[in-house]
Structure 1
């Protein structure tokens, strides 16, 4: 398994996430955590709450179409695991989001920027767990 190093795409994506987070906080006073946005879209408190969440989700989903318009081709997506593993991974992430009171985007981008102790602890936990998972998958299991 090889990890492709994409510094410019990563920088651009990170900058767009940061700008979107700042705009959402500045315009609506809301924190941009992807799972919170999705959960509020599925179970909205009211119409105005649903509409901004739908706009954020539409922006996330439409990004590949914008890339296609700019480059003439859809971005390549390779998922090197089976569908059952994706389902198991999604379930584990869902548990983590529930028990961690948020996702990596909410804690890592917005919580860290606000110097939230809970978010700092969550991000440290995410990073350690990620490092251990990569080590086990690549060097112990041999994936």
Structure 2
């Protein structure tokens, strides 16, 4: 039998990360009147349009990507990242998520954080679907496939 999968969940770091995401969403809405949906921000960055809008999107993506560097500078330790799957599986997963984002009209940050806060029915349904799919996937991977 396969060895059970372990996770390194730490409630305090999860709480801090969630608080920072919430703060970013509030600041984005308060300062720019826009929803902090990561996929929409990235998608708009790939379309060259309004230079001010592009600069805001570029700054947000750069901020997201610089997280490991900030962690290193503050702690002196490199972030430990494990990759338990192949590059092909990561690419396939990214494509599946991209398709889901397109059909779902947004990503988990847009619907789950911002949409629910605005009491959007569409976001409530989308988030319920995200969570049901995540719960089902974990159950199948851990208990049916046995990984």
Which TM-score tier does this pair reach, normalised by the shorter chain?
Answer: over 0.9
Matched, 1:107 2:111: yes
Aligned to 2:8, what secondary structure does the other structure show?
Answer: coil
Aligned to 2:46: 42
1:112 and 1:135 map into 2 onto residues whose CA distance is: 25
Matched, 1:88 2:92: yes
Deviation at 1:52, TM superposition (A): 0.5
Aligned to 2:23: 19
2:109 and 2:126 map into 1 onto residues whose CA distance is: 11
Aligned to 1:118: 122
Unaligned runs of 5+ in 1: none
Deviation at 1:44, TM superposition (A): 3.6
The count of aligned residue pairs is 143
Aligned to 2:137: 133
1:14 and 1:45 map into 2 onto residues whose CA distance is: 31
Residue of structure 1 aligned with 2:101, choices 97, 103, 107: 97
Supply the RMSD in Å over aligned alpha carbons.
0.8
Aligned to 1:50, what secondary structure does the other structure show?
Answer: helix
Deviation at 1:135, TM superposition (A): 0.5
> For each residue in 1:50-96, what CA deviation from the matched residue of structure 2 results, as whole angstroms up to 9, or x when unmatched?
01101111110111111101110111011211111111111110000
> For each residue in 1:16-48, what CA deviation from the matched residue of structure 2 results, as whole angstroms up to 9, or x when unmatched?
111111101011111011100100001043101
Aligned to 1:61: 65
Unaligned runs of 5+ in 2: none
Segments of 4+ in structure 1 off by > 2 A? none
